[in-house]
A and B are shown apart, each in its own frame.
Chain A
Amino acid sequence: MRDDSKKWDAPGAPTTLEMSDGLTITPVQLARQTLLSGVDVLGRTQHPIAAWSGVVTAQTYALSLRRDRVLLVNGPALADGWHGDIAQAVSDVSDCYSVFDIRGDRAFSVLKRGAELRLDVPSKSVARLLFGLGVFLYRFEATDTFRVHVFRGQAETFFKSLKFAFPSL
């Protein structure tokens, strides 16, 4: 096996990246991310549900991932494991996903470098393949702000992909 250390940039501490045209990529620190799975978990959640391509304005909300799974953002602390009383599996995934906000008039153009996205076609799930990476993508607080949850181990790749996509605009 070779020593490929120099072929890979050392990961840097996440910082806001300000690009031209007012486009910014900002790492987001969420209080908590909790994965909930169960029958009709979507219908049973008390929090606003984020789906594509609506704009989430609440600070606590549930990302609709699939019919039996949501990602609760900034929700209350829940014990990991099977909750028989509510028939839901609960896992804290706060460290599983890195989160970025991509903001600016050109934000959607940048994202379209990585996936076939259409604002006019709604979807109940925010799960997407973006730049080849499985992510959760939705609009947060404003129509020109897109929030992305990406696996922690792939955050570096995602950030690089965004930086690569932007100069091509």
Chain B
Amino acid sequence: MTSHRTDRAGLIDRTQPRNFTFDGKAYRGFEGDTLASALLANGVRVMGRSFKYHRPRGPWGAWVDDPNAIMTVTLDGRSFPNCPAATTPLVEDMQARAVNAWPSAAFDIKAGLDLFHRWLGAGFYYKTFMWPDWHLFEPMIRKMAGLGDISRDAPKNYTADQVHDHCEVLVIGGGAAGLACARAAAEAGRGVVLVDDHPIFGGGLHQSVQIEDRTPSEWIADQLAAIMGAGGRVLPTTTAFGVYDHGLVGLAEYGAFGTAPHLHRMRADRIVLATGALDRPVTFAGNDRPGVMAVDAACEYLARYGVLVGRRIALASNNSLADAAEAMLTQAGAKITRISPQDGAIRALGGKQLKGLAQGLRRHEVDTVLASGGLTPLVHLWRHAGGKLDWCAARQAFLPGAAPDGMVAIGAANGTFDLDQALSEARAIGAGNASDAAARTYSLTPLWPEPGDKGRQWIDFQHDVTLKDVELAARENYVSVEHLKRYTTLGMASDQGKTSNMAGLAAMAAIQDRPLPEVGTTTFRPPFVPVPFEMYHGHHGKQLWHPLKRLALEPQHRAAGAALGEYGGWLRPGWYGTGNRGDLIRREVLSARNAAGIFDASPLGKIEVMGPDAEDFVNFIYYNTIRTLKPGNIRYGFMLTEGGIVMDDGVIARLTENRFVISCSSGHVDSVREHLEAWRQDGNNPDRIFIHDLTQQWSTVTITGPKARDILAKLPLGLDLSAQAFPHMTVQETQREETPIRIARVSFTGDISYEISIRSSRASDLWDKVVAAGEPHGATPIGIEALSILRAEKGYIMVGKDTDGETMPHDLGITIPRLKKKPAYIGDRSLHSDKANLPDRKALVGLAVGDGDKVLPTGAHIVDGTLSRSLGYVTSSYDSPTLGHPVALGLLENGSARTGEIVSVWHMGETRQATVCAACFFDPEGERLHA
């Protein structure tokens, strides 16, 4: 038996002791204890230090309302920071350490900061660390800030399960009202889920002697049996931490300590809020001393854990519920002294050890002060859902007002503090009936902070916000509650206003001499209590974090030694082989220019547009005129936004009169498909246009280079590949072994190229044959890095790299449709705006450097002579293996008129010279392209 543990009371299992340490010292508790209850049972009161002044702190609450006892808990070699001691279940061999204290909570080396409190008021850091430079102080401030330290080692097997679920009625809170409501709803045939964050249901019922002629445990067991018997589900140790749109409630279901909670995304047709109410602190001098505690907390520690928190207790309460608390604590052996805080200012005496309580000249020798300034309904979830709050003068509290869709509050959460009334209300709501407003027995005398009172009076225990801080904020005109919160840090972090909000609002109301409801409340946001990030993270890790699309030919690429990386949402070969990356890419470029490169172009878009209006539709979608495109032909074009900005470039092939294939950029397939679908249904007849995204049906192998035709000729396709029969920008369809094959003669390198598309299940066979056919010619597979160089040599752009959010087609040199295309197209009007016609628009240019010069850095700014203004920037820049010198593309103000001009290019403090030239460095006449 320890000094504060009673002989009988509590729900703990006294046959199962649990050994643990706190700040290095060994203690013993029992199965069913929390860290806080076990420490209190052992006579430990100082369990933490406040954030700013490092004042000693003991528990104020017995559950989620305790802002003070926060610990780093180590179990089996794994550490978990910021565990609230009042809700952390005690486990054998736990090692707990108070956060924000060293070497221990009882003796903290930084406690001396409290001596300087006069200079450390609200917002002191905004005023103090201005000179000579904030950054001088920043490292020290950052080191001191925060609570627990996160472990550098991610705990293994700490993974949250995430499941979607649904119920008809979700009852949040397993106290008397929640249990009665859930039972009534379940027996009425509704699909009920009842959740409570305690491991044992009952809420505050365990403090009662009897309920409806039974012991609390019997009554609770009856309700649970009835709920489950009627098909309801009950989830203990499950916290409803947030309410989101359309009845979605986030539930964190906790298992054994050290395991990640399970996330239930519960969609409920109806949400019943039975979350209860909290004692709010009384604001008096020294009210933060260890030993000052909520009345309800003392009763909970006794009822659930068999812990009598003090022997000589001052009970300072303004409400009628104190009588039952007095009777319960007296029965357990405590000597109670009733104090009426409204009769005069009170003051806690002592330091780390509470020595007594003074009221005026009268001094009470007590070891514990239990305080209650009235009950505050827990309405956080109500506000998450957008519910309104109404001020109740009789209860001196904000109560649920206009309800959000599908939500109702019952019991203490609704201001129904009397048990019989709460049960009646809960049963009516559960059965789907209206609740009768019955007589109320709860009464209280208003008790709020009084500005000007002497002594340091705490409003927010966790963040050391005092009444004087609120007064200071008001003097400095931070009078809105939202400004008050941010200026003083009132109600931040894990407290989230549970204990501090009402006192802070009341203080501000009193300072301004305004009614409290006029001041209002701050915004409540999820989560209601801290939850591990892992719970949100779930399975979205490693390869399931931003998963990439996979190529049908990936096994072939791996076998060929490809270096794979992400390009436009796909895992694609960057280059092939091992060794120096630059050398390998250079070799691939030269292979493509001298013989041929073989490239997997499968991610290129293959979106088919079909139907009687397909021609008009693609003509409307594209900047370029597509209407004149003949079947079997291909045209390059831009898609624009309504603002006239280039959103994609690519080619479009016309297969038949009513069938087009859009080959958009690999990374733009999803957005282009959505763009097409949106416009199909807006301004067009969706019954005459149909869009099929077949990108993943087809894989594409590209052969590019002077030997491309020879290599393709080795495949028995039965086609005339001559330049006359199969010219550039045409497409042919054929079959091989009953498999359709589509060959487009189109190039992204400037050399003769064929894109061979085949159904994906046959792609490996095609790839192997092309590689084998190319080998005698010196052709090799090439990756995206080599392709990027090849296209830049030719001056072919990549949208998003060589364009930005302002680039219009005429900035890229494609001007004719803007001037001559008559039918409407997306972006048309914007291309004729004043902005589109500005002479200094950034246009695509080439940038040449002198012999022997280094490659210009991509992203480097093109600046005017005084380096005072950016005129543009380098978009693509490479050392061209083909040409033997660097090539670069850029966007430059009035670029098309600057050909031949020498410009300054600035990057990271270095300025170099470049000559503006045409954006094409390779085969400008196109002889190789059309060969």
Interface residues of chain A, those whose CB is within 8 Å of chain B, are: 1-5, 7-11, 35, 37-39, 68-69, 80-82, 84, 89, 91-97, 109, 112-118, 131-132, 151-157, 160-161, 164-165, 168-169
The answer to whether A89 and B690 touch (CB under 8 A), given A96-B697, A151-B696, is yes
Q: Are A1 and B574 within 8 A (Cβ)?
A: yes
Q: CA of A130 to CA of B543 in the docked complex: distance in angstroms?
A: 16
Q: CA of A5 to CA of B564 in the docked complex: distance in angstroms?
A: 5
- B605 CB to closest chain A CB, in angstroms? 13
21 contacting pairs across A/B (C-beta < 8 A): A1-B574, A4-B565, A5-B562, A7-B543, A37-B690, A68-B690, A81-B655, A82-B610, A82-B612, A89-B610, A91-B608, A93-B692, A93-B694, A95-B552, A113-B164, A116-B164, A116-B267, A161-B544, A168-B161, A168-B262, A169-B161
Give chain B residues whose Cβ lies under 8 Å from the Cβ of A91.
Answer: 608, 692, 694, 697
Q: How many residues of B contact A (CB 8 A)?
A: 56
Complex partner residue of B547 from A68, A113, A154, A169, CB under 8 angstroms: A154
Q: Which residues of B contact A116 (CB under 8 A)?
A: 164, 166, 265, 267
C-alpha gap A168/B261 in the complex (Å): 11
B482 within 8 A of A: no
Interface status of B206 (Cβ within 8 A of chain A):
no
- CB atoms of A84 and B658 under 8 A apart: yes
Interface: B75 (CB within 8 A)? no
Encode B666-703 as 1/0 by CB contact (under 8 A) with A: 00000000000000000000110011101011100000
Docked pose: A71 CA to B591 CA in angstroms:
43
Q: How far is the CB of A11 from chain B (nearest CB, A)?
A: 6
Assembled-state Cα–Cα distance A91/B544 (Å): 31
B696 touches A10 (CB 8 A): no
Q: In the complex, are the beta carbons of A153 and B539 less than 8 A apart?
A: no
Cβ contact within 8 Å between B539 and A165: yes
B544:A160 contact, CB within 8 angstroms: yes
B555 and A11 form a contact (CB under 8 A): yes
Within 8 A of A (CB), among B549-608: 549-552, 554-555, 558, 562-567, 570-571, 574, 581, 608
Minimum CB distance partner of B554 in chain A: A11
- Smallest beta-carbon distance A164→chain B, Å: 4
Q: Which residues of A contact B547 (CB under 8 A)?
A: 132, 154, 156-157, 160
Q: Tell me if A117 and B696 are in contact (CB < 8 A).
A: no
Report whether B163 and A157 are in contact in the complex, using a CB–CB cutoff of 8 Å. no
Docked pose: A81 CA to B558 CA in angstroms: 35
Q: Shortest CB–CB separation between residue B616 and chain A, in angstroms? A: 14
Which of B658, B696, B759 is most buried by chain A, counting CB atoms within 10 A of its CB?
B696
CB distance from B319 to the nearest CB of A (A): 43
Given contacts A1-B574, A89-B611, A161-B544, contact A118 B166 (CB under 8 A): yes
Q: Which residue of B has the minimal Cβ distance to A116? A: B164
Residue B761 CB within 8 A of the other chain: yes
B696 touches A1 (CB 8 A): no
Residue in chain A with minimal CB distance to B162: A113
A4 to B567, CA, bound (A): 11
Measured in the bound complex, the distance between the Cα atoms of B565 and A169 in whole Å is 33
Please, which residue of chain A has its CB at the minimum distance from the CB of B559? Answer: A10
Pair B539/A164 contact, Cβ less than 8 Å = yes
B-chain residues with CB within 8 Å of residue A5 when the two chains form the complex: 558, 562-564
Closest to B578 in A: A3
Smallest beta-carbon distance A97→chain B, Å: 8
Which residues of the partner chain B approach A132 to less than 8 Å between Cβ atoms?
547
Quick check: A164 and B544 within 8 Å, CB to CB? yes
How far apart are the CA atoms of A92 and B694 in the complex, in Å?
9
Extra contacts, 13 of them, besides A3-B581, A93-B692, A94-B697 (Cβ < 8 A), are A1-B567, A1-B574, A3-B565, A5-B558, A81-B655, A84-B658, A94-B759, A96-B696, A113-B163, A116-B166, A117-B164, A160-B543, A161-B539
Q: Is B614 an interface residue (CB 8 A)?
A: yes
Residues of A within 8 A of B692 (CB): 35, 37, 89, 91, 93
- Interface status of B165 (Cβ within 8 A of chain A): yes
| Interface contact B694-A96, CB-CB below 8 Å | yes
Does B215 make an interface contact (CB < 8 A)? no
The distance in angstroms between the C-alpha atoms of A91 and B564, with both chains bound, is: 31
Across the interface, which residues of A come within 8 angstroms of B608, CB to CB?
Answer: 89, 91
B697 and A92 contacting across the interface, CB-CB below 8 Å: yes
Contact present for A82 and B659 (CB under 8 Å):
yes
In the complex, B785 has a CB within 8 A of chain A = yes
1/0 contact string of B760-779 vs chain A (CB within 8 Å): 11000000000000000000
B548 close to A (CB within 8 Å): yes
Chain B neighbourhood of A9, CB < 8 A: 543
B532 within 8 A of A: no
Is A82 a contact of B162 with CB atoms below 8 Å? no
The reply to whether the CB of B915 lies closer than 8 angstroms to some CB of chain A is: no
B870 at the interface (CB under 8 A from A): no
B159 at the interface (CB under 8 A from A): yes
Partner of B610, one of A81, A95, A155: A81
Is B839 positioned at the interface, with any CB of A under 8 Å from its CB? no
Cα A160 to Cα B548 in complex, Å, equals 12
Min CB gap B737→A, angstroms: 15
A95→B739 CA distance, assembly (Å):
12
Q: Is the CB of B697 within 8 A of A1?
A: no
B697 touches A154 (CB 8 A): no
* B24: interface (CB < 8 Å): no
Q: For window 688-743 of chain B, which residues contact chain A by CB distance below 8 Å? A: 690-692, 694, 696-698, 740
Judged by a CB distance under 8 angstroms, whether B3 is at the interface is no
Most buried by B among A39, A69, A91, A118: A91
Q: CB-nearest residue of chain B relative to A120?
A: B166
The residue of chain A having its C-beta at the shortest distance from the C-beta of B572 within the complex is: A1
Q: How far is the CB of B175 from chain A (nearest CB, A)?
A: 29
Q: How far, in angstroms, from A5 to B759 measured CA to CA in the complex?
A: 25
Q: Which residue of B lies closest to A91 (CB)?
A: B692
Q: Say whether B564 contacts A95, CB under 8 Å.
A: no
Across the interface, A82 reaches (CB within 8 A) one of B163, B550, B614, namely B614
Q: Kindly list chain B residues whose C-beta atoms are within 8 Å of the C-beta of A11.
A: 550, 554-555
- CB <8 Å contact, B554 and A152: no
Q: B255-273 vs A: 1/0 string, CB under 8 Å?
A: 0000000100101000000
A96 to B606, CA, bound (A): 11
Nearest-CB residue, chain B, relative to A164: B539
Least Cβ distance of B734 to chain A in Å? 14
**Residues B566 and A4 in contact, CB atoms below 8 Å apart:** yes
Looking at the assembled complex, report how far the CB atom of A82 sits from the nearest CB atom of chain B, in whole angstroms: 4
A93: chain B residues within 8 A (beta carbon): 692, 694, 697
- Contacts of B151 on A, CB cut-off 8 Å? none
Is B656 among interface residues, defined by CB-CB distance under 8 A?
A: yes
Q: Which residue of A lies closest to B539 (CB)?
A: A164
Instruction: Chain B residues near A131: list those with CB within 8 A.
Output: 539
> What 9 pairs across the A-B complex have the smallest Cβ distances?
A168-B161, A153-B549, A3-B563, A96-B697, A89-B690, A37-B690, A89-B610, A157-B547, A82-B658
Q: Give the complex CA separation of A158 and B592 in angstroms.
A: 36
CA distance in complex: A89, B547 (Å) = 31
Interchain CA distance A132-B300 in the complex, whole Å: 44
Kindly list chain B residues whose C-beta atoms are within 8 Å of the C-beta of A10.
554-555, 558
A151 x B565 contact (CB < 8 A): no
Interchain CA distance A10-B549 in the complex, whole Å:
13
Closest Cβ–Cβ distance, residue B444 to chain A (whole Å) = 44
Closest to A77 in B: B738
B659 with A38: CB separation less than 8 A: no
CA distance A112 to B690 in the complex (A): 33
A residues less than 8 Å from B267 (CB atoms): 116
Find chain B residues with CB under 8 A from A153 CB. 549-552, 570, 696
A-facing residues in B589-639 (Cβ within 8 Å): 608, 610-612, 614
By beta carbon, the residue of chain A nearest B548 is A8
